[in-house]
Structures are given as structure tokens and as C-alpha cells.
């Protein structure tokens, strides 16, 4: 199991699309004020966000996760996706020596690249990701892109259940 360094996020990853009330119950918390403060903090940090429930219910919470996409260098085919341990964006910016590439303040953010475009992971950063996640990356055969996504049920996911 990947580490998201927060029990609420771990619960949301295991139980995609919980309402705020369902999350409170699953966490077995007793102090609603503490719970609201924690959820608000996670939202402000971009760790979770609200989504519209496609089943017609109220809003549900969706957790942010990081993943590495592995592509074959010869064919450029996607070969594997690794869900990796959570690393805060400000830490990733330091590790990746991220420099804002342009003049648009929104599109220059690392979060924008991770969610919309992906971020090409250079080989010099492989040690950090291997150490943090306990796997080996093979840059002789593959290239890797780092992505962030919010886990959320898609319409097709519901049809399979």
C-alpha cells in the first residue's frame, strides 16, 4: 500500500468518493470541529477536493495521488503505472529543481504540469523515487513521466460494479 501520510487521505484512497459525513464515520472521530479543520487544511493543501457525485448525491471527496507512468523507449508505449508515496508539491519542487518555465502564473505551477501535462522525470532524480517507494527504475529501456490525479469514479467504473 502506498503511504499518503494522512489517515483521512488513506481512507479516501481505499474508499473512493466518500461524502464528508461518510469520511467522518470511517475515521471514527468524535470531534466534528477537529474533523472540519483537518478536511479544510487538506483541501487548502490540494490533497483532496470536492467532486459532484455522478450518482446524483451530494458532493464527495476525491484524494490526490501521485503516479509514475513508464513508457518503452523504442515504441513509446505505456508499459506500467506505479502509484507512488505522496510527496508534497513544495518538496517535489525542491527535489526536481523545478523552475517555472513561462510567464503564466497558473500554468507555471508544478501542480498544473503534474495534473494536465505530466512531468518528464529525468534519470538524475531516480534515486529519490526508488528510495521513497522501494522499486527500481530502468532508464536503459524506459522513460518515466510523473503525474498527479484525483481519484474519482468514472461513469464506466459504476457500470462494472
| pLDDT score at 106 | 58
150-154's contacts with Cβ under 8 Å and 24+ in sequence apart are 150/48, 150/49, 150/51, 150/62, 150/63, 150/64, 150/65, 151/12, 151/13, 151/16, 151/62, 151/63, 151/65, 152/16, 152/17, 152/51, 152/60, 152/62, 153/16, 153/17, 153/54
The three grid cell numbers given for residue 99, joined into one nine-digit string = 523552475
| pLDDT score at 157 | 42
Q: What is the pLDDT of residues 79-134, one digit of tens each?
A: 999 889 888 888 899 999 988 766 665 566 888 889 888 999 999 999 999 998 99
Q: Give me the chain's average pLDDT, please.
A: 85
| pLDDT score at 89 | 86
Alpha helices, DSSP H only, in 31-149? 32-44, 89-95, 110-112, 126-133
Q: When comparing pLDDT for 157 and 11, which is higher?
A: 11
Percent of the chain's residues with pLDDT above 70: 84
What is the pTM assigned to this prediction?
0.78
| pLDDT score at 86 | 87
Judged by DSSP in three states, 6 sits in coil
User: What is the pLDDT confidence band of residue 1, given thresholds at 50, 70 and 90?
Assistant: very low
Judged by DSSP in three states, 133 sits in helix
| pLDDT score at 112 | 83
Amino acid at each position: 500500500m502506498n503511504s499518503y501520510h494522512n489517515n483521512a487521505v488513506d481512507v479516501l484512497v481505499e474508499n473512493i468518493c466518500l461524502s464528508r459525513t461518510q469520511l467522518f464515520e470511517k475515521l471514527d472521530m468524535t470531534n466534528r470541529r477537529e474533523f472540519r479543520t483537518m478536511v479544510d487544511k487538506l483541501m487548502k493543501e490540494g490533497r483532496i477536493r470536492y467532486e459532484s457525485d455522478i450518482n446524483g448525491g451530494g458532493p464527495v471527496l476525491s484524494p490526490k495521488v501521485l503516479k509514475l507512468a513508464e513508457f518503452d523507449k523504442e515504441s513509446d508505449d505505456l508499459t506500467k503505472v506505479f502509484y507512488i508515496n505522496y510527496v508534497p508539491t513544495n518538496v517535489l519542487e525542491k527535489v526536481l529543481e523545478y523552475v517555472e518555465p513561462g510567464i503564466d502564473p497558473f500554468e507555471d505551477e508544478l501542480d498544473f504540469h503534474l495534473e494536465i501535462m505530466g512531468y518528464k522525470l529525468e534519470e538524475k532524480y531516480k534515486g529519490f523515487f526508488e528510495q521513497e517507494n522501494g522499486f527500481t527504475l530502468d532508464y536503459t529501456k524506459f522513460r518515466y513521466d510523473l503525474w498527479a490525479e484525483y481519484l474519482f469514479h468514472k461513469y464506466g467504473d459504476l457500470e462494472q460494479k
